[in-house]
């Protein structure tokens, strides 16, 4: 029995064909994705300057030219006078009239002139008929009035217009100064007084009501006379 069982076991084992074990099937690795080299960076172009950038910086506004001696005027006798001849002196330019409430200031003007002319001070009188038609006479009439009534010896000039459409260029230049020296409506009335320094520049203004002996006016004249 044992022999038969062994034989049967051999036969069974011999009839079984052993299959070789299948190697494990692994998923092949995916091919490596080639790395793309980074695109070269495009250099940034400088932004072109606009017309606004290209414009130069605005220049500061030029100061108003204060020089007022660049005119040739006619004196009371009709002779040409270059105002530049007075450069180096302290000057008062005053528009005058013979029939004005301020006409008595002629006396104070003459007194001031006599006191300080030796120190380099001069008054230039410009008759005008612009305010209330208070200077209606001729140049000859004005000269006679000033010399006989007030003994005026400071330089007097021919009658001109100091305001309005026929304003003389000298007074256009004066009224073109910034306030308070100039501005619209300057001069405001007869006997407005404009003070000019030794360099020929207008530096101060005193209204009609300010008398020639007013301390503030005299002080300003003295200051300019002291500035050699």
Query: How much is the pLDDT for 9?
Result: 40
Q: Which of 71, 87, 99, 100 is catalytic?
A: 100
Query: How much is the pLDDT for 11?
Result: 43
Number of domains in the chain: 1
Query: For the domain that residue 156 is a member of, what is the CATH number?
Result: 3.40.30.10
Query: How much is the pLDDT for 228?
Result: 76
Question: Do the domain assignments include residue 215?
Answer: yes
Question: Do the domain assignments include residue 149?
Answer: yes
Question: Do the domain assignments include residue 40?
Answer: no
Query: How much is the pLDDT for 23?
Result: 44
Does the reported pTM lie above 0.95?
A: no
Structural domain boundaries, residue 118 = 72-226
DSSP per-residue string spanning the chain: -HHHHHHHHHHHHHHPPPPPPPPP-PPPPPPPPPPPPPPPPPPPPPPPPPHHHHSPPPPPPPPPP-B----EEEBTTS-EEEGGGGTTSEEEEEEE-SSSTTTTHHHHHHHHHHHHGGGTEEEEEEEB-TTTT---S-HHHHHHHHHHHS---S-BB--B--SSTT--HHHHHHHTSPTTTS-TT-S-STT-EEEE-TTSBEEEEE-TTS-TT-HHHHHHHHHHHH--
Question: Do the domain assignments include residue 210?
Answer: yes
Question: Do the domain assignments include residue 39?
Answer: no
Low-confidence ranges of the chain (pLDDT < 70): 1-63
Query: How much is the pLDDT for 64?
Result: 74
Question: Do the domain assignments include residue 90?
Answer: yes
Query: How much is the pLDDT for 14?
Result: 47
Tell me, yes or no, if 146 is annotated catalytic. Answer: no
Question: Do the domain assignments include residue 28?
Answer: no
Question: Do the domain assignments include residue 113?
Answer: yes
């Amino acid at each position: 029995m044992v022999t038969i069982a062994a034989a049967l076991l051999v036969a069974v084992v011999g009839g079984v064909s052993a299959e070789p074990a299948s190697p494990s099937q692994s998923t092949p690795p995916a091919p490596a994705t080639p790395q793309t080299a980074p695109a070269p960076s495009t250099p940034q172009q400088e932004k072109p300057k606009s017309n606004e950038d290209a414009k130069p910086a605005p220049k500061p506004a030029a100061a108003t030219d204060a020089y007022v001696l660049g005119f040739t005027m006619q004196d009371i006798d009709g002779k040409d006078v270059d105002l530049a001849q007075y450069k180096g002196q302290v000057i008062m330019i005053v528009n005058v009239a013979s029939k004005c409430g301020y006409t008595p200031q002629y006396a104070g003007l003459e007194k001031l002139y006599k006191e300080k002319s030796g120190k380099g001070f001069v008054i230039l009188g410009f008759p005008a008929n612009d305010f209330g038609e208070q200077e209606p006479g001729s140049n000859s009439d004005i000269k006679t009035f000033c010399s006989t009534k007030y003994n005026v010896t400071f330089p007097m000039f021919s009658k001109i217009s100091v305001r309005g459409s026929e304003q003389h260029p000298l007074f256009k230049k004066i009224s073109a100064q910034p306030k308070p020296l100039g501005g619209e409506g300057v001069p405001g009335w007869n006997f407005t007084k404009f003070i000019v320094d030794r360099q020929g520049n207008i530096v101060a203004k005193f209204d009609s009501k300010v008398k020639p002996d007013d301390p503030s006016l005299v002080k300003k004249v003295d200051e300019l006379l002291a500035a050699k």
